[in-house]
């Protein structure tokens, strides 16, 4: 080849060319931008619904299954998975790469809105969002008791009523999620005879407690 003949006939020229390519490569490598989470649109939509006080079984039966059956009719779905926790339902819908993420989220939002009248009043409005790696948590705080006599329930109450509210007020914080812990519970024992004498039903007691819990 002509390049080989020129290099053999002009070794100094060939050496200078290789040195120039090496310097150019090192300079380009140092200026090469690297992102941990590049700007990529994933066709994945997450539906998160809260059902306060419900067990995972009730969440699965009353919320998760109904959402799955509704969004399953959206075209372009690749996989559909769900998780049912205590008081919370998470449904993950992954679409084909050919599907536009914004349109997919809009279709899912419309399907979830159709089944909203079928859900119980205690179920809160579903949060529908597209999956974004840059929106993942970047700061975790672990709360530990340093003094004796503080149990997990007291620690959870302090974290939810004090620490979480303070972090939410920090400038630039999008959301603060409390994971783990033991929530406070109150057991109420009813007296059927007294209720019957006063003409009070179980539904009325539940409604009064619900009003107190959510003023």
- Residue 132 has a pLDDT of 66
The architecture (CATH level 2) of 44-135 comes to 2-Layer Sandwich (3.30)
- Quick count: other Cβ atoms within 10 Å of Cβ 115? 15
Measured in whole angstroms, the distance separating CA 47 from the mean position of its chain's CA atoms is 8
Domain ranges of the chain: 1-32, 44-135
* pTM score, whole prediction: 0.54
The whole-angstrom separation of Cα 137 and Cα 159 is 17
Q: Which two three-digit tokens encode residue 162?
A: 């004090």
String of b and e for 180-204 (b: at least 16 CB within 10 Å)? Answer: eeeeeeeeeeeeeeeeeeeeeeeee
- Residue 181 has a pLDDT of 72
Which contiguous run of DSSP H or E holds residue 82? strand 77-85
Pairing between β-strand 44-50 and β-strand 88-95 as defined by DSSP bridges? antiparallel
- Residue 111 has a pLDDT of 92
| DSSP letters spanning 136-202 | S----------STT--HHHHHHHIIIIIHHHHHTSTT-------SS----------HHHHHHHT--H
The whole-angstrom separation of Cα 94 and Cα 81 is 9
pLDDT in tens, the chain (215 residues): 666 777 777 777 778 888 888 888 888 887 777 766 566 677 899 999 988 878 888 899 999 999 999 999 898 999 999 999 888 899 999 999 888 888 888 999 999 999 999 998 888 888 888 876 656 667 788 888 888 888 888 888 888 888 888 988 888 787 788 877 777 777 888 888 888 888 888 888 888 887 776 55
The single residue listed with the structure tokens 């926790």 is 85
- Residue 93 has a pLDDT of 92
SS3 at position 44: strand
**Neighbouring-strand partners of residue 129:** 46
Q: What is the DSSP letter of 60?
A: I
Q: What's the CA dihedral at 87, 89, 90, 95 to 10 degrees?
A: -170
């Amino acid at each position: 080849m002509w390049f080989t003949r020129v290099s053999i006939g002009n070794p100094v020229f060939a050496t200078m060319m290789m040195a120039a390519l090496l310097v150019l490569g090192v300079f380009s490598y140092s200026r090469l931008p690297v992102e941990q989470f590049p700007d990529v649109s994933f066709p994945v939509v997450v539906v998160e619904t809260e059902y306060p006080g419900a067990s995972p079984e009730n969440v699965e039966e009353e919320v998760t299954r109904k959402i799955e059956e509704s969004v399953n009719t959206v075209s372009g779905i690749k996989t559909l998975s769900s998780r049912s926790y205590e008081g919370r339902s998470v449904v993950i819908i992954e679409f084909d790469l050919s599907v536009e993420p914004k349109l997919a989220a809009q279709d899912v939002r419309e399907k979830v809105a159709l089944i909203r009248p079928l859900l119980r009043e205690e179920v809160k409005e579903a949060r529908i969002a597209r999956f974004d790696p840059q929106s993942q948590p970047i700061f975790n705080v672990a709360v530990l008791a340093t003094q004796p006599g503080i149990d997990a329930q007291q620690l959870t109450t302090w974290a939810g009523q004090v620490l979480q509210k303070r972090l939410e007020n920090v400038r630039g914080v999008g959301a603060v999620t409390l994971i783990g812990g033991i929530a406070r519970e109150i057991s109420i024992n009813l007296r059927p005879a007294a209720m019957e004498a006063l003409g009070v039903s179980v539904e009325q007691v539940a409604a009064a407690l619900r009003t107190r819990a959510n003023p």
